[in-house]
Amino acid sequence: MPESNTSSNTSHESARQPLTVLLAAPRGFCAGVDRAIQIVEQALSKWGAPVYVRHEIVHNANVVKRLEAMGAVFVEELADCPDDRPVVFSAHGVPKVVPAEAASRQMTYVDATCPLVSKVHAEAQRHARNGLHILLIGHEGHPEVVGTMGQLDPGSMTLIETVEDAEAFTPADTQPGLGMRLAYVTQTTLSVDDTADIVATLRRRFPQMAEPRKDDICYATTNRQEAVKAIAHEAQLVLVIGAANSSNSVRLKEVAERSGAREAYLIASAENIDWRWFDNVTTLGLTAGASAPETLVQGVIAACRARFTVSVREVVTAQENVVFRVPRVLENT
């Protein structure tokens, strides 16, 4: 009987469809996300539970649930927080009125805004001090856009979402040389290719427009998009692990579709896979957005191994060694 079972299992294994998994690298957590999660963890260690967090610390339900289990309480607005407990602001950044209100209430607060987002805030403030009107390339309603626009007085910044918006924008003041009084900044998690089209349109229309000293789209977004391009043209199917409200994850799916993948899907975890997607698929491309933990990637690979004879090949397009320090108030906790 044991020999018969062994023979049956061997036959079953050999009958499985082979599947090559092209694993994009870099993928998953970036330095800003790592820092934000550490800030919540260290705040809990320093002050104990509960620690309040205004908005999701990063856009990933698995991360949020794990931190909730440790004692973090996620709320929508500062008004939902008591005065006597610490509060952390999310990695996406907040309007300047939020820390001002926290200070007026004498609250203990820690800002987990990604340093690259803070750089965009500083650029916008510098341009405003110099009398320039700022064009923000981004998506309406995204927390990062809300936070960036909230750094300046109303009317100081115009949101540009599409090439059509760039074509339609008309400065209120049409005096000659107005281009000297315009500047642009961008949301950090956009598609590099889409932003290039918008920037090209603005440059054509306003050639004297001030530009960022360095591209505002963050290194992690750029690297993950380049990695997914490298696997998409070889894969019939690409899966991007990330949340539906994660801008950089949605952009990865779009990049995969434009870069040759027959199909691309955004999934929260292996549980969201429709295995019918794998019909006639021999090569799968797999990546994860900057807020998705590596455990979710390995979960997808394990689910594939349960159904296919899997071989994994990591496709490395860049090495990342960026580390952002946590705020001084939390160091040595």
The pTM assigned to this predicted structure is 0.89
pLDDT for the residue 307: 97
pLDDT for the residue 3: 43
Contacts of 286 (CB under 8 A, 6+ apart): 21, 22, 23, 24, 27, 231, 238, 239, 241, 297, 300, 301
d(C-alpha 258, C-alpha 233), whole Å: 9
d(C-alpha 12, C-alpha 263), whole Å: 28
Segment holding 115, helix H or strand E: helix 115-129
Instruction: Let me know if 161 is a catalytic residue.
Output: no
Mean pLDDT by 10 residues, the chain (333 residues): 43 74 97 97 98 94 96 97 97 96 97 96 95 95 96 94 95 55 93 90 94 83 96 97 94 96 97 97 97 97 98 97 93 72
d(C-alpha 233, C-alpha 215), whole Å: 26
pLDDT for the residue 173: 52
Count CB atoms within 10 A of the CB of residue 198: 22
Helix (H, G, I), strand (E, B) or coil at 311: strand
pLDDT for the residue 6: 43
- Fold exhibited by the domain 16-29+219-316: Cobalt-precorrin-4 Transmethylase; domain 1 (3.40.1010)
Alpha-carbon distances of 245 from 45, 185, 219, 249, 251, rounded to whole Å: 29, 22, 20, 8, 11
Contacts of 117 (CB under 8 A, 6+ apart): 32, 91, 92, 93, 144, 147, 148, 188
Which residue spans of the chain are classified as CATH 3.40.50.11270?
31-115
CA-nearest of 98, 65, 115, 21 to 243 is 65
Structural contact between residues 122 and 93, judged by C-beta atoms closer than 8 angstroms: no
Residue of 41, 56, 123, 144 marked active site: 144
- Fold exhibited by the domain 31-115: Rossmann fold (3.40.50)
d(C-alpha 41, C-alpha 71), whole Å: 9
Which residue spans of the chain are classified as CATH 3.40.1010.20?
16-29+219-316, 116-205
d(C-alpha 49, C-alpha 331), whole Å: 18
- Fold exhibited by the domain 116-205: Cobalt-precorrin-4 Transmethylase; domain 1 (3.40.1010)
Burial class (CB in 10 A: 0-12, 13-18, 19+), 163: middle
Segment holding 73, helix H or strand E: strand 72-75
